[in-house]
Amino acid sequence: MSQDTAPRIDPGPPLTDGDDALSPDTWGFRDTQFVVLPNGNAMLTGKRYALSGTELPALVPWVRSVLANPFIERPASAGHFPAPVPEPKPPTAFLRAAEAFLARGHVSIEPLDRLRRGHGHTLDEMYEIKHHGLPRVPDAVVFPGSTDDVVKLVQLAVEHDVVLVPYGGGTNVSEALRCPRDEPRAIVAVDMGRMNRIRWIDKANRLACIEAGAVGRHITDQLAVHGVTMGHEPDSYEFSTMGGWVATNASGMKKNRYGNIEDLVVDLEAVMPGGVIRRGATTPRESVGPDPRRWLFGSEGTLGIVTSATVKIFPLPERTEHDALLFPSFEAGVAFLNDLARSGAVPASVRLVDNLQFQLSQTLRGPAVGLQAFKRKAERWFVTKVRGLDPTSMVACTLLYEGTHEEVARQMRTVARLSRARGAMRAGSENGKKGYQLTFGIAYVRDFVLRYGILAESFETSVEWSRALELCARVKARVRREAEARGVKGPPFVTCRVTQVYQTGVCIYFYLGLNDDDLADPLGTYGAVEHAARDEILQCGGALSHHHGVGKRRQGFLPEVHAPVALEWLRGLKKSVDPQNVFGIGNL
């Protein structure tokens, strides 16, 4: 049978490693966390990452210096998990009816089940679950196994006046899962984890149908068995899900080659109070009026539950190459990215970090001995003395090439030509690979430093090329002013990187860290500084969010983003498709 007429492939049972693999109170895997060893060196435990198991002698001294923090572990900062969990108000009739068709054990009112489905991964939420607790969490959790199950659950919610909250990987940093404390109705979390199959793969038409609860790393691994990839790799892809990507309008590290989630999804199946959105055929493009399926992108659980998506897939790349470049300044690096965006030869991923983040990356290296120590010393001499790069201003750019041999070769030639023109030197494929993989390991730093009295979080935006440098400088300056005005001890840690490039502009991703010493209201202070940074972003013409979404954390800024008529349209849409406010999580 020719490929053109080959049937759809059933890839078999979904991949899974169980909830026990994940940490209940910190980011990521249970077996992975940063610790300080008796000799004072830091180390990432476990064996999952290239960084794991390597002693890091420079990290703790560097943090002490940059943040003026003694870095002495403070049990009070770490808190105790779990903090008290509110008693449930279970909707008895709803749950009894749900138990009639859900498999045994797939309805729960257990405190830890409810707690985990009631928060994402913002600093505030992770702090609260270890200290004073969340004021409201779901009253119950249900685990549907099919679209029919979801349809019945929605019908029951309408009948019994219950609020439903879709739950995927719980990785959001927008407080989208935070339950409204004044909601009088029972709240039930709908955990999509059992709906985690790749239903089919169609290699002839380069499509796959993937259920909403499928996790990114499992999707990638299972598609690869059949020689294809979706190419969608958010920083959170190890834990985030297909449905969550749609609900937050997600972006991925390899966006330049494969597109953002809205480019990859060609069809959706979703359950709303009025019924199921689904189509009988998947076509490359159509013009049939406004598309209700597009309402779900960025809807953050307010309109319905995504149950599956049909997405584009691509052959696994013939060639994959990593690389890294050093530039004399952030300005030179941004100019290079602008040149690259206009060249039409952009690698799958290209990321530029500022000097402070480059310094941090250098602390995440193990000690060098013998020949390796000599090599590092020689490299440092060559970079600073021969090439004349200043360690206090130089920046790094990591690149990932994927595609055919011809595509990769053309992109590499273009990068070499354009980077030379901006004063760059090549740092090699090994450094490029480490820099790319560091994205996953560095995510564990936030929960690590929290134990030492440092509040930290990330936020992001997108902005036109002509305002990118101004935005970065102004946001950093605003953070410093706001932190000083609020009595924060020591300088704030504020750094940024450019993570995605477009013809018209860039995505800029910030990290912010503050000492909590002597702060009467640590979370309130941090929130005020972050809020000021977001205000500065909007004043500079930046987006409210590039891919994190709005949730409740950035909701107050919506009147500055949307015209009154647009906000009224959004409210009208919500009232039309969900008149009873079944999906009353409060994100719209």
Strands 349-353 and 314-315: unpaired
Torsions phi, psi for 489 (to 5 deg)? -80, 135
* Structural element, H or E, at residue 352: strand 349-353
Tokens, residue 2: 């020719």
- Catalytic residue of the set 237, 444, 452, 509: 509
Look at the block and give the residue holding tokens 């994927």.
Answer: 402
DSSP state of 82: S
Distance CA(434)–CA(238), nearest Å, equals 17
Q: Could you give the CA distance from residue 235 to residue 248 in angstroms, rounded to a whole number?
A: 14
3-state secondary structure of 318: coil
502 among known catalytic residues:
no
Return left, alpha or beta for 396; rule: phi > 0 is left, psi -120 to 50 is alpha, else beta.
Answer: beta
Q: How many Cβ atoms sit within 10 Å of the Cβ of residue 137?
A: 24
Distance of CA 234 to the CA centre of its chain: 6
Q: Are 251 and 234 in contact (CB under 8 A)?
A: yes
Quote the CA–CA distance of 161 and 163 in Å, as a whole number.
7
Rounded (10°) angle between helices 355-363 and 59-67? 150
DSSP string, 229-251: E-----TTTTT-BHHHHHHHT--
Q: Count Cβ atoms below 10 Å from residue 319 Cβ, excluding itself.
A: 14
Apex CA 299: angle with CA 295 and CA 302, to 5°? Answer: 110
CB-based contacts of 463, cutoff 8 Å, min separation 6: 471, 505, 506, 508, 537, 540, 541, 542, 543
Distance (Å, whole) CA 82 – CA 113: 12
- C-alpha distances out from residue 214 to 58, 138, 183, 209, Å: 38, 22, 30, 11
Catalytic residues: 509
